[in-house]
Amino acid sequence: MPLPKRQDKTKKRIILKEILMYTIVVLSAVVLATLIRVFIFEPFIVPSPSMDPTLKVGDKVIINKIAYKIGSIERGDIVAFHSPLEEKDLVKRAIAVEGDEITLTSEGEIYINGERITESYIQADQGVSYINQTVTLDEDEVFVMGDNRNNSFDSRYFGAIPGEDVFGEFLVIYWPPSRW
């Protein structure tokens, strides 16, 4: 027996409300995910071996894009930035920050403001040596270097980078799971 017209309209209205509700939920999820991706967290694939062994080529990482909007870059932070020489993004370690004087020696030592730094993230058997140089960073500049010093194109070659080119801080490796 067919439903009376009133019940049929009510049933259609309920179905339409449910479809509308699901549509709103899906659209809200898409908008929220897009906002998070654009303004807060960005997935990033490590493009080179310059951060080995800390980060390996192909590691998929999350970059925290608001870290330096609410805080400042600290020595030792792993930062993501726009390359000053090519159209790609890089990940390196901030070795010195604005106002610091960094000195590199041919013996592979680094001095920040006259004090020798120790870097536990560098492999001891790397045999690093640098071209003797001293650089004083201006306001809002960062001196970045890869942890794999013998295989890193970094501030030793292209100079300090402007802080405005840094778009985030390394947060976590999310793939492959064996690197968690």
Q: Quick check: 3 pLDDT over 60?
A: no
Give 128's pLDDT tier (boundaries 50, 70, 90): confident
**Structure tokens given for 118:** 């120790």
**For 90-102, what is the mean pLDDT?**
96
pTM exceeding the 0.85 threshold for the entire prediction: no
Give 123's pLDDT tier (boundaries 50, 70, 90): confident
Any idea where the domains of the chain sit in the sequence?
1-39, 42-179
Indicate the helix (H) or strand (E) that contains 46.
none
**What span, in angstroms and rounded, lies between the C-alpha atoms of 68 and 74?**
10
Q: Quick check: 136 pLDDT over 90?
A: yes
Q: Where are the beta strands (DSSP E) in 23-164?
A: 41-45, 60-64, 78-82, 89-97, 101-104, 110-112, 115-116, 133-136, 141-145, 161-162
**For 100-121, what is the mean pLDDT?**
92
Q: Is residue 50 among the annotated active site residues?
A: yes
Q: Which of 17, 48, 50, 69 is catalytic?
A: 50
137-175 pLDDT, tens digit each: 999 999 999 999 888 999 999 999 999 999 999 999 999
C-alpha distances (whole Å) from 142 to each of 108, 131, 156 are 20, 19, 12
* Cβ proximity of 81 and 144 under 8 Å: yes
Q: What number of other Cβ atoms are within 10 A of residue 134's Cβ?
A: 10
Q: Which of 65, 92, 152, 155 is catalytic?
A: 92
Give 85's pLDDT tier (boundaries 50, 70, 90): confident
52-82 pLDDT, tens digit each: 989 999 999 999 999 999 999 999 999 999 9
Residue 25 pLDDT = 95
Question: Dihedrals φ, ψ of 156, to 5°?
Answer: -65, -25
Q: The domain 42-179: what is its CATH number?
A: 2.10.109.10
**Structure tokens given for 61:** 């990482």
